[in-house]
Structure 1
Amino acid sequence: MKIGDLAEKTGVAPRLLRYYEEVGILHPFRSANGYRTYGEPAIDRVLQIRELLEAGLTTEMIREVLPCLEAAKEGTPKQCPVAKDLDGLRRQLSSIERRIEVLQRNRQAIKTYLHAWEDTLADTPAEAG
Structure 2
Amino acid sequence: MLLLGIVAVMALIAAFGVHLGFGSGPDLPAAHAWLVPPVTGSIKVADKTEAHPAGYVWSATRIGSSIRLRGAVPSEEDRRTLLGMVKANFPDLGVEDRLKIAAGAPPKEQWLGAVSFGLKQLSHLKRGSAR
The TM-score range, normalised by the shorter chain, is: under 0.3
Output the TM-score relative to the length of structure 2. 0.24
